[in-house]
């Protein structure tokens, strides 16, 4: 309870600072303006985040919400995630009606997660391995010269206060080592990074899009250049540990893409999409009606300078309904039901660190998990060639305060479900994973959504303090 209270206090202080600092730089008149925005966030996957983004925005009377916007960003978290970026967004590039976006940056994920592929994961076992409660596959160490089970001197000396578990293999076979597995402290040091690896990704993306005439259809074209460097934790010492990390899951399985542990690998692609968007233009940030659907394709291969060849197809349908307006509007409130259906298929030789990536025109996720997938599981918990999920949200706008330029409070409830499979044939409604949760979102100045939410699944939970609606 004390941890939860301290976390809420920290969020309240950070939230007040973000809004107050950004409100001091509000731009009302046409022309150029410089706007600093503190970046404060928290999540189960990445820990507490901090940083700064500085905007340079040019407004005129024609383009909405602005004509040009540039920003530079520094962002890092306490669990080793970093995202530093420079961006340009030209809504009406040189009065041409083309929207041009350019992003250059570097992303580092010190604790990128890898659980293998497949819809059926033994999550209880994974949790016990992370906590040092059981060894990996009851892995008793062997003497390299004799091949015989080796008693671990650390278990009974320096780790005498550890919690032990029975070696089930020794119970079945007398030649399989000690009856007691190594203690929890030892196991946490040697296998604490079993499901993790270090991922470094410099990137550059450029895209253009345009409305098709006066319709609600839009086309999109883009390029993504990126280079991956993968580092295993095998043999590394964590701070204060006396023993090195053992082999991790990527070292054992050596999935496609493991060669990026030796030399950096390019994974460059071309992107194309067609979209239909009937959401109210003035409410794209916080829609209450309309449909936004897109079909997105990304092709990666030798022709794009990539070390691998694969194709990724993603279809997404989002829809928004305002419920019972006759009841809520007289009270200056609003209830919106929103849902998203998403399906993706990947073909070809995709490296393991890209297989879980889900890309649409506007959104991205890492497998079915994390803050942008099934919001009760960690990122990349469920990954395969075919992935699908559905997200349902009820958003109730309850009251408004005039402080800091105006804030609407939106209470949230959500329900997510989805699954993955290696082929279309195996993608059925059986074996669906589910998550549910709720929270509050703050709509500030009708342009910024701040999200505070908590979700649960059967075995895991997910906390998120960040920006934007999920969809």
SS3 of 266-313: the string is ECCEEEEEEEEECCCHHHCCCCCCEEEEEEEEEEECHHHCCCCCEEEE
Residue 364 is encoded by which pair of tokens?
């991205």
Least confident segment among 22-31, 32-41, 85-94, 442-451: 22-31
pLDDT at 159: 41
Residue 319 is encoded by which pair of tokens?
């829809």
Nearest to 88 by CA among 224, 206, 201, 209: 206
Confidence class for position 1, pLDDT limits 50, 70, 90: very low
pLDDT at 149: 46
Least confident segment among 183-187, 206-210, 219-223, 233-237: 183-187
Top-ranked range on mean pLDDT: pick from 55-64, 116-125, 135-144, 439-448: 116-125
Confidence class for position 190, pLDDT limits 50, 70, 90: confident
Spatial separation of the C-alpha atoms in residues 64 and 466, rounded to whole Å: 24
Confidence class for position 16, pLDDT limits 50, 70, 90: low
Please give the average per-residue pLDDT across 33-46, as a whole number: 85
Least confident segment among 175-189, 218-232, 267-281, 295-309: 175-189
pLDDT at 393: 98
Inform me whether the pLDDT recorded for 301 exceeds 90.
yes
Spatial separation of the C-alpha atoms in residues 255 and 274, rounded to whole Å: 33
Task: Give the dihedral sign, CA 457/459/464/467.
Answer: negative
Please give the average per-residue pLDDT across 330-338, as a whole number: 95
Nearest to 391 by CA among 411, 410, 365: 365
Output the average pLDDT for the chain: 85
Inform me whether the pLDDT recorded for 369 exceeds 60.
yes
pLDDT at 243: 83
pLDDT at 153: 38
Residues 6 or more apart whose CB falls under 8 angstroms from that of 120 comprise: 431
Chain segment 255-282, per-residue pLDDT in tens? 999 999 999 999 999 999 999 999 998 7
Is residue 176 within 8 Å of residue 142, measured between CB atoms? no
Spatial separation of the C-alpha atoms in residues 359 and 451, rounded to whole Å: 21
pLDDT at 353: 96
Spatial separation of the C-alpha atoms in residues 169 and 179, rounded to whole Å: 8
Please give the average per-residue pLDDT across 116-130, as a whole number: 90
Distance of CA 299 to the CA centre of its chain: 22
Residue 314 is encoded by which pair of tokens?
């993603």
CA distance to 63, 154, 185, 253, 259, per residue, from 161 (Å): 67, 11, 9, 33, 40
Whole-prediction pTM: 0.83
Inform me whether the pLDDT recorded for 102 exceeds 60.
yes
pLDDT at 32: 85
Least confident segment among 50-59, 153-162, 332-341: 153-162
Inform me whether the pLDDT recorded for 10 exceeds 60.
no
Share of the chain above pLDDT 90, in %: 57
- φ, ψ for residue 251, nearest 5 deg: -70, -35
CB atoms closer than 10 angstroms to residue 28:
7
Chain segment 127-137, per-residue pLDDT in tens? 888 888 888 86
Which position has the higher pLDDT, 376 or 189? 376
Please give the average per-residue pLDDT across 401-428, as a whole number: 92
Inform me whether the pLDDT recorded for 179 exceeds 80.
no
pLDDT at 11: 54
pLDDT at 418: 97
Least confident segment among 142-156, 246-260, 277-291: 142-156
Inform me whether the pLDDT recorded for 342 exceeds 90.
yes
Inform me whether the pLDDT recorded for 176 exceeds 70.
no
């Amino acid at each position: 309870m004390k941890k939860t209270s301290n976390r809420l206090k920290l969020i309240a202080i950070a939230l007040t600072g973000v809004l107050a600092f950004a409100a001091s730089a509000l731009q009302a008149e046409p022309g150029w303006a410089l706007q600093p925005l503190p970046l404060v966030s928290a999540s189960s996957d990445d820990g507490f985040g901090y940083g700064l983004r500085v905007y340079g925005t040019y407004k005129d009377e024609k383009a909405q919400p602005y004509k040009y916007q540039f920003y530079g960003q520094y962002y890092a978290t306490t669990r080793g995630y970093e995202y530093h970026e420079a961006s340009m967004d030209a809504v009406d590039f040189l009065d041409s009606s083309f929207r041009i976006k350019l992003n250059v940056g570097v992303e580092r994920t010190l604790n990128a997660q890898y659980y293998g592929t497949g819809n059926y994961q033994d999550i209880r076992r994974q949790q016990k391995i992370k906590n040092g409660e059981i060894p990996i596959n009851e892995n008793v160490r062997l003497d390299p010269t004799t091949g015989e089970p080796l008693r671990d001197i650390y278990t009974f000396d320096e780790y005498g206060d550890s919690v032990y578990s029975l070696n089930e293999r020794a119970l079945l076979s007398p030649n399989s080592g000690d009856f007691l597995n190594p203690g929890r402290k030892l196991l946490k040091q040697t296998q604490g990074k079993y499901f993790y690896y270090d991922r470094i990704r410099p990137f550059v993306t450029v895209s253009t899009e345009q409305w098709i005439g006066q319709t609600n259809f839009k086309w999109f074209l883009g390029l993504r250049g990126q280079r991956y460097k993968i580092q295993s934790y095998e043999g590394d010492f964590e701070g204060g540990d006396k023993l090195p990390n053992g082999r991790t899951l990527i070292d054992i399985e050596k999935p496609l893409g493991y060669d990026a542990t030796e030399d950096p690998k390019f994974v460059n692609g071309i992107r194309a999409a067609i979209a239909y968007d009937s959401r109210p233009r003035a409410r794209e940030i916080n829609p209450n009606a309309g449909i936004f659907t897109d079909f997105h394709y990304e092709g990666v291969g030798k022709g794009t300078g990539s070390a691998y060849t694969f194709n990724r197809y993603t279809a997404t349908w989002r829809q928004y309904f305002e419920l019972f307006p006759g009841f809520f509007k007289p009270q200056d409130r609003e209830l919106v039901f929103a849902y998203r259906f998403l399906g993706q298929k990947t073909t070809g030789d995709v490296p393991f660190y890209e297989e879980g990536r889900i890309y649409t025109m506007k959104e991205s996720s890492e497998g079915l998990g994390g803050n942008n997938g099934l919001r009760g599981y960690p990122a990349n918990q469920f990954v395969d060639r075919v992935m699908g999920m559905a997200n349902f949200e009820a958003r109730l706008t309850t009251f408004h305060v005039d402080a800091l330029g105006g804030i609407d409070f939106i209470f949230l409830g959500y329900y997510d479900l989805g699954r993955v499979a290696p082929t279309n044939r195996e993608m059925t409604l059986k074996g669906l994973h589910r998550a549910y949760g709720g929270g509050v979102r703050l709509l500030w100045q009708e342009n910024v959504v701040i999200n505070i939410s908590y979700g649960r699944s059967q075995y895991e939970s997910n906390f998120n303090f960040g920006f934007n609606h999920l969809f």
